[in-house]
Amino acid sequence: MTTPRIGLHISGAGGLADAPLRAKALGCECFQFFSRSPRGGGAPPISAETAKLFRSRCKTWKLESYIHAPYYINFASSNNRVSFGSVSAVREELERGTLLGATYVMTHLGSASDLGENAALRQAIDRITAIFDPKKGGPYATQLLIEISAGAGGIIGDTFEHLAFILKGVGRPDLGICLDTCHLFASGYDLRTPTAISATMRAFKKHIPLSRFQLVHANDSARDFGEHKDRHTDIGDGRLGVDTFRFLLRHRDFRGRNFVLETPGADARRRNDVALLKKLRG
Ligand SMILES: [Zn+2]
């Protein structure tokens, strides 16, 4: 039986090769990072030296790493420059992840804007399929995961039905799912008791094989159940509470999935939250 690894989203300040150092200092067993500025601009090349140092540090400290794709990714934009730009950016992240030895690249799907939900989902399938065009690169050692969203505005990917539709449409067995606890809760999937977690995961498994579920974003929610508001808060400070994370870490459907905190607190608080989740996993 695999014990889940606990880790943090680590800031990119100080250069890529320093990310494993910061992760280690905060008690992480895994970590997520941006390989480029999350708000825009190109990806600065990763030198062979940086990649080697990053990999050797991860190996020495037994750290697993994950890349979070930039925020501007929108496969459903009616603007081709944005939707195809998202394809190139995620493809680059898969290349960069492969270079750095990252296990996953996480992405959001984007927002339906003026396309309407069905057309937006169909376009997202088309764009995600285009990421894997063999003429453009690959195969990649890093696996792509789609993260469930909180569903504010026209954001797609906030229901298991949406995610299942995308997985089926793309038809790649290596395309996985990341479940963010704050986003699930915001989207109306309750997690506050073992019974609620079981009901949520029954709904998941009705649409998606459990084997596609690969990673957890562990965040408390500052906003209430079903509000469709994406406001992460530190563990125990929100509407989910500490008990939720104990239940999740011990629930059979979450077994073997690693937990990455994307909480807003200062380093001291985040280090404590990592220690707390390690304690809660039992
Ligand atoms: Zn997340």
Query: Ligand 1 centre and the CA of 143: distance in Å?
Result: 17
Instruction: Supply the mean pLDDT for the chain.
Output: 95
Write the pLDDT tens digit of every residue in 12-30.
777 899 999 999 999 999 9
Please answer whether residues 234 and 273 qualify as being in contact, where contact means their C-beta atoms are separated by less than 8 angstroms: yes
Query: Ligand 1 centre and the CA of 10: distance in Å?
Result: 13
Query: Ligand 1 centre and the CA of 135: distance in Å?
Result: 31
Nearest to 84 by CA among 118, 131, 125: 131
Q: The whole model's pTM is what?
A: 0.96
Write the pLDDT tens digit of every residue in 250-275.
999 999 999 999 999 999 999 999 99
209 pLDDT above the threshold of 80: yes
Query: Ligand 1 centre and the CA of 148: distance in Å?
Result: 8
Nearest to 187 by CA among 214, 161, 215: 161
Query: Ligand 1 centre and the CA of 260: distance in Å?
Result: 8
Query: Ligand 1 centre and the CA of 180: distance in Å?
Result: 5
Given this model, what pLDDT does residue 147 score?
97
Write the pLDDT tens digit of every residue in 229-255.
999 999 999 999 999 999 999 999 999
Alpha-carbon distance of 237 to 172, in angstroms, equals 38
Query: Ligand 1 centre and the CA of 273: distance in Å?
Result: 16
Query: Ligand 1 centre and the CA of 102: distance in Å?
Result: 17
- Residue predicted with more confidence, 15 or 188: 188
113 pLDDT above the threshold of 90: no
Across residues 206-224, what is the average pLDDT? 97
1 pLDDT above the threshold of 60: no
Q: How confident is the model at residue 115 (pLDDT cuts 50, 70, 90)?
A: confident
And the tokens for 44?
């600065």
Q: How confident is the model at residue 107 (pLDDT cuts 50, 70, 90)?
A: very high
Please answer whether residues 126 and 80 qualify as being in contact, where contact means their C-beta atoms are separated by less than 8 angstroms: no
Given this model, what pLDDT does residue 12 score?
74
Q: Cis peptide before 44, with omega less than 30 degrees from 0?
A: no
Alpha-carbon distance of 35 to 65, in angstroms, equals 11
Query: Ligand 1 centre and the CA of 55: distance in Å?
Result: 24
CATH code at 6-280: 3.20.20.150
% pLDDT > 70, the chain: 100
Query: Ligand 1 centre and the CA of 46: distance in Å?
Result: 25
Alpha-carbon distance of 153 to 253, in angstroms, equals 30
Q: Three-state DSSP class for 130?
A: helix
